[in-house]
Structure 1
Amino acid sequence: MRGKWILASGAAILLGAALGAVTLLWRSGAGGSAPSDPTPPGALAEISLTGVVRAQHVVGLAAPIEGTLFNVMVGPGEEVHEGQLLAQIRNTALEEELEAAGEEVRRLEDRLKNLESAFLAARLEASRANADFSRAQAEFFQAEKAALRQQVLYREGATPRRVYEAAQAEFKAKEEEYEVRRKAAQAADEQVSAVLNETETVRKALQEAKERMELAGSDLLAADVVSPANGILTAVSAKAGEEVHPEAGDLLQIAVDLTQLEVVVEPEPTVREKIRPGQQASVHVAEAPGEVFPGSVRQVGEEGAIVEFTSPAPGVRPGHSAHVRIRLP
């Protein structure tokens, strides 16, 4: 009897232990452990990066002439307007050429005035000389006619020798005067022609000197760097006193259309591999609190990624820092 009771007690203990084990297993299987993360290790649904805002459209201005950057009127970040003077370049060679051309113009103008006066005087002298020549010529012809008549009469014995010789002497005197007046008139006419020719030469030289002066002046005027559009100056590649050259690249850069912006970010190589053009992004700029600007990845390269966006907020400008979130597929 006692043996049966001991056997029954042992069976009950074994049954209880079995029930406890089953209950423990059931609880462990029902919710004792958290479900595994479906995202593979290292995968990201979104990445956050910081970068600098810049304009999508930038106008570059090269130095218009070679020379020394004399003055820069604006600095990076300042607003500029179309037609505004931004910088000045000095070129001493052009300045010297302009000064020399100006002096040449003044000298030739003075010379031209003197020649014009000389031309009037030469014409007056030529007019007088030709009048004297015409008078001497008429008297010469008259004396010649009288001398020939007296010669005929003298041969025929119809006039005294004294009258004949007087007529010959008068003819000789008038002939000499005629020759003197002829040469004087010829010289006066030649002087008029010479002055006229020199006047034309000086007038032509004056025109050329004025053209050189205008060209040098226009070149110096081109040394003024003027803004071609409204925008914000973003970069100046040289300082006042430094030499600049048209082939040296952009001297100034102006951001235009300030609603079309972009952010340049530089992710780590492992992160950059996950970025693709066209991926959606959001841009946050401290200068526009509460604003979230939707954008997209435009370009990805070894130097980084470019996220473009449109900003209607006037407070967002090139050079501002931006926080960019790029959503990954």
Structure 2
Amino acid sequence: MRGKWLLFAGGTLIVAAGAGALTYYLRQPPPKPTKAATAPVLPTGSEVHITGSIRAVNLVLVPAPVDGVAEEFPVKPGDEVFEGQILGRISNETLKETSREAELEVERAQARVNDAESLLIATRLEDSRAAADASRARIEFQRAERTYQRQQLLNAEGATPRNTYQKSLQDYEVAKKESDTLQTLSNTLQDRIQGVIKDIDLAKKALAEKVQNLESARSSLSSADLLAPADGLVISIGKSAGEEVRKGMPDLITIATDLSQLELVLEPEPPILKRLRAGQQALVQVAELPGNGLPSKVKSVDGGKVIVEFSSPSTLIRPGMTAVGTLKLN
């Protein structure tokens, strides 16, 4: 019994001691936070090395010439292009339909010219035969006319049989009628030829207008081709094949035209940024171009970015590459 009392008393003491320790801990003020170790301030003239991206200075933008859908881009960013090279095409159904209709109009106008020229050939051939017949009939008529005049004189003197005179008159009248008929036909065919010639002239004039319309339609259609305005390097293409394009989109394709003048874009931390100034000297180091670096100069410090301009001695250095800019702190 005595042992149980001792065990109970010991447990009570332990609980009381724990409660007292907890009360003491809760009454203590919270510990003050320890200050993080600050980076040492670099002295003036210290060099910093900042990695950035190279970009071109001289850019040419190829805008979208018409509304439509990007049909294809045979080039991609990083490709070298030459002036006049086709960079892409924009599909415009209105321009295509106009061109197709203009082609049909030219075909129809050409068919009218061909038909008129064929008619002229046939009419001239018919006129040639009619002229030959008229010439033959004229000769026959002149012969019959001389015979009739002779028989007429003889008949007046009673020196020719009546039947012979009547026969010469009949032959004369038949020959005259045939000659007049064939001559009229020949004259008609001549007039027809002149009319066909006029029709040909009008048809050719209409054809020339249709051809001009076709050339204009094809020119408009070819304007949907995107051509490189200068030699250079494709930097970016703003649309993919199949995407809709609006006329006047300024940066559908971007080309760098002079890779000897480049810029390095750096984004240093604010403490470093505020100690850099435009106009200060710098070095640009590119892995693809071993050496001590390229002498350069800070062009601007603005908007959280440092722009370093430099001249590239090699075509190995291209926009989009990574380089390290070395600058001294002010």
Q: TM-score, normalised by structure 1?
A: 0.69
Contact 1:88–1:225 (8 Å) recurs in 2: yes
**Residue deviations 1:80-134 (CA, integer Å, cap 9, x gap):** 2326543122222332233233334444445544444433332221111011112
**Residue deviations 1:138-183 (CA, integer Å, cap 9, x gap):** 3333334444444444445444554444333333222221221112
- 3-state SS of paired residue (1:248): coil
Equivalent residue number for residue 32 of structure 1: none
Question: C-alpha distance in 2, partners of 1:62/1:106?
Answer: 35
**Residue deviations 1:24-53 (CA, integer Å, cap 9, x gap):** xxxxxxxxxxxxxxxxx9995568566432
Question: C-alpha distance in 2, partners of 1:209/1:47?
Answer: 72
Question: C-alpha distance in 2, partners of 1:52/1:295?
Answer: 15
Contact 1:140–1:171 (8 Å) recurs in 2: yes
Displacement of 1:58:
1.8
- 3-state SS of paired residue (1:250): coil
Equivalent residue number for residue 185 of structure 2: 184
Displacement of 1:75:
3.2
- 3-state SS of paired residue (2:252): strand
Equivalent residue number for residue 194 of structure 2: 193
Deviates most, 94-103 or 268-277: 268-277
Are the structure 2 counterparts of residues 194 and 43 from structure 1 closer, same or farther at C-alpha, using a change threshold of 3 Å? farther
Equivalent residue number for residue 259 of structure 2: 258
Contact 1:281–1:325 (8 Å) recurs in 2: yes
Are the structure 2 counterparts of residues 217 and 43 from structure 1 closer, same or farther at C-alpha, using a change threshold of 3 Å? same
Give 1:52's aligned amino acid: S
- 3-state SS of paired residue (2:173): helix
Deviates most, 135-144 or 218-227: 218-227
Q: TM-score, normalised by structure 2?
A: 0.69
Give 2:254's aligned amino acid: Q
Contact 1:264–1:307 (8 Å) recurs in 2: yes
Question: C-alpha distance in 2, partners of 1:59/1:189?
Answer: 65
- 3-state SS of paired residue (1:239): coil
Equivalent residue number for residue 103 of structure 2: 102
Are the structure 2 counterparts of residues 188 and 172 from structure 1 closer, same or farther at C-alpha, using a change threshold of 3 Å? same
The answer as to 2:254 corresponding to 1:242 is: no
- 3-state SS of paired residue (2:242): coil
The answer as to 2:296 corresponding to 1:295 is: yes
Displacement of 1:287:
6.3
Contact 2:65–2:248 (8 Å) recurs in 1: no
Equivalent residue number for residue 81 of structure 2: 81
Displacement of 1:211:
4.4
Contact 1:95–1:220 (8 Å) recurs in 2: yes
- 3-state SS of paired residue (1:192): helix
| Correspondence 1:200-279 to 2 at 5 A | 200-244=201-245, 247-265=248-266, 276-279=277-280
Equivalent residue number for residue 91 of structure 1: 92
| Correspondence 1:5-24 to 2 at 5 A | none
Are the structure 2 counterparts of residues 271 and 68 from structure 1 closer, same or farther at C-alpha, using a change threshold of 3 Å? same
Contact 2:270–2:304 (8 Å) recurs in 1: no
**Residue deviations 1:162-214 (CA, integer Å, cap 9, x gap):** 44443333332222212211121112223333333333444444444444444
Deviates most, 129-138 or 235-244: 235-244
Displacement of 1:239:
2.9
**Residue deviations 1:233-261 (CA, integer Å, cap 9, x gap):** 21222332334355332321112333321
Question: C-alpha distance in 2, partners of 1:239/1:275?
Answer: 40
Give 2:81's aligned amino acid: H
Are the structure 2 counterparts of residues 116 and 280 from structure 1 closer, same or farther at C-alpha, using a change threshold of 3 Å? same
Equivalent residue number for residue 122 of structure 1: 123
Equivalent residue number for residue 24 of structure 1: none
Question: C-alpha distance in 2, partners of 1:93/1:145?
Answer: 76
- 3-state SS of paired residue (2:76): coil
Question: C-alpha distance in 1, partners of 2:301/2:180?
Answer: 100
Q: How many residue pairs get matched?
A: 288
Equivalent residue number for residue 173 of structure 2: 172
Question: C-alpha distance in 2, partners of 1:295/1:243?
Answer: 42
Identify unmatched segments of 5+ residues in structure 2. Answer: 1-40
Are the structure 2 counterparts of residues 230 and 131 from structure 1 closer, same or farther at C-alpha, using a change threshold of 3 Å? closer
Displacement of 1:54:
0.5
Question: C-alpha distance in 2, partners of 1:219/1:203?
Answer: 24
Question: C-alpha distance in 2, partners of 1:300/1:144?
Answer: 116
Equivalent residue number for residue 16 of structure 2: none
Displacement of 1:57:
1.8
Question: C-alpha distance in 1, partners of 2:234/2:276?
Answer: 31
Contact 1:68–1:244 (8 Å) recurs in 2: yes
Deviates most, 173-182 or 234-243: 234-243
Identify unmatched segments of 5+ residues in structure 1. Answer: 1-40
Contact 2:151–2:160 (8 Å) recurs in 1: yes
Deviates most, 234-243 or 199-208: 199-208
